[in-house]
Chains A and B, each alone.
Chain A
Amino acid sequence: MEAAAGGKRAYSIIVPTYNERLNVALIVYLIFKHLPDVNFEIIIVDDGSPDGTQDIVKQLQQVYGEDRVLLRARPRKLGLGEFRTPMKQKVTGADVVTGTRYVKNGGVHGWNLMRKLTSRGANVLAQTLLQPGASDLTGSFRLYKRDVLEDLISSCVSKGYVFQMEMIVRATRKGYHIEEVPITFVDRVFGISKLGGSEIVEYLEGLVYLLLTT
């Protein structure tokens, strides 16, 4: 990795939040603890949380510095993913490194049988029909090269949950080099998950949309 000159960071870690005051403190602490020698910044994108998430972020800025922890506040809820464990990163020539829960050394914790069954069914369906080039379509832990991210973002139209699928499928179709690293996913400790019961319908709609457009 080349050294970043003039305060420019080698990595930007983007953390979307909505009512995550304890989780945001935890994730910032863990990132700084586990990446002591990495030139990174954390960008927290908060969708106008009413629980004081942004106050916590401001306190974290006092601890770690306003140049390392950045707050981008959005006025209202626009949709987000879940973040839990820090991504173990592999140095390769890859354009996209994506975390996967479904391989050896990866895994989930705190899922009941129903959730595992749904997850497996969705996965088999997508792998068979879509051949997406990644084993975990909806995992939120991804590392993109900047120009690759800009290219993909400009060609993705989905919002929310399906966005994660569209990004990785389009990356595969465009011929970008994708590498996978195992991640572990411990179900949320604080707060409540914002993913609702319409998850399955949304997933299937996303699948059909991607079949037709990619």
Chain B
Amino acid sequence: MSASRTGVGGDGGGDGVSSRSGRRKASHSQMKHIFKIVAILVAISAIWVALLETSTVPRSYTWLLPIYLVVALGCYGLFMVGFGLMFFPTCPQEAILLQQDIVEAKEFLAKKGVDVGSE
């Protein structure tokens, strides 16, 4: 495995050029995300128009389908937000550990002559 490097300045990092250009080519052929969403919307509209035209289901039902779709999307969003809120991960023990770290750091750095006394 090669060493992972991060950083903006400095030199090095010549390896990986070939793989990078390969990835660049792949990204050019990729569809912009908005077009994917538009494509999905167009497909749904096409199905809906087809249902309207062929009248396989009674028309009065078909007219309501887009409203159901919007309501369903809204429910999905609300459910996801609510679910996430209920199980929002928290870390109270880390806050305590951090306070201990701060005391420790201040002690150490003050001894070494770093001015950490004032806020």
- List the one stretch of B14-22, B53-61, B62-70 in contact with chain A: B14-22
* In contact, B91 and A108 (Cβ under 8 angstroms): yes
* In contact, B6 and A26 (Cβ under 8 angstroms): no
Residues of B contacting A144 with CB < 8 Å? 4, 6
A-B residue pairs in contact (CB < 8 Å), sample of 15: A11-B4, A11-B5, A14-B8, A25-B114, A29-B104, A30-B105, A55-B115, A63-B112, A113-B85, A128-B77, A148-B16, A149-B7, A173-B27, A176-B23, A211-B33
Question: What 1/0 flags go to A74-102 for Cβ under 8 Å of B?
Answer: 00000000001100000001000000011
Residues of B contacting A55 with CB < 8 Å? 115
Residues of B contacting A146 with CB < 8 Å? 4-7, 12-13
- Count CB-based A-B contacts (< 8 Å): 171
Residues of B contacting A12 with CB < 8 Å? 5-7, 10
**B39 CB, nearest partner CB in chain A, Å:** 13
**Range, interface on chain B:** 35 or more
* In contact, A147 and B6 (Cβ under 8 angstroms): no
* In contact, A214 and B98 (Cβ under 8 angstroms): no
**A189 CB, nearest partner CB in chain B, Å:** 7
* In contact, A175 and B7 (Cβ under 8 angstroms): no
**A2 CB, nearest partner CB in chain B, Å:** 5
Most buried by A among B7, B32, B112: B7
Selected from B24, B77, B91, B114, the residue in CB contact (under 8 A) with A109 is B91
* In contact, A120 and B37 (Cβ under 8 angstroms): no
Closest 7 CB pairs of A and B: A12-B7, A146-B5, A107-B89, A107-B91, A29-B105, A146-B13, A184-B91
* In contact, A173 and B30 (Cβ under 8 angstroms): yes
Residues of B contacting A213 with CB < 8 Å? 32
| Known A12-B7, A26-B101, A60-B114; 13 more pairs at CB < 8 Å | A1-B4, A4-B3, A13-B6, A14-B6, A29-B108, A107-B94, A108-B89, A109-B91, A110-B95, A128-B80, A151-B23, A185-B91, A186-B98
Name B residues whose Cβ lies closer than 8 Å to a Cβ of A: 1-10, 12-13, 15-17, 20, 23-24, 26-27, 30, 32-34, 37, 76-77, 80-81, 84-85, 88-92, 94-95, 98-99, 101-102, 104-105, 108-109, 112-116, 119
Closest residue of chain A to B36 (Cβ to Cβ) is: A131
Selected from A9, A93, A175, the residue in CB contact (under 8 A) with B23 is A175
Residues of B contacting A116 with CB < 8 Å? 85, 88
Interface presence of A201 (CB below 8 A) = no
Selected from A25, A84, A109, A214, the residue in CB contact (under 8 A) with B105 is A25
Interface presence of A117 (CB below 8 A) = yes
Interface presence of A37 (CB below 8 A) = no
Residues of B contacting A26 with CB < 8 Å? 101-102, 105
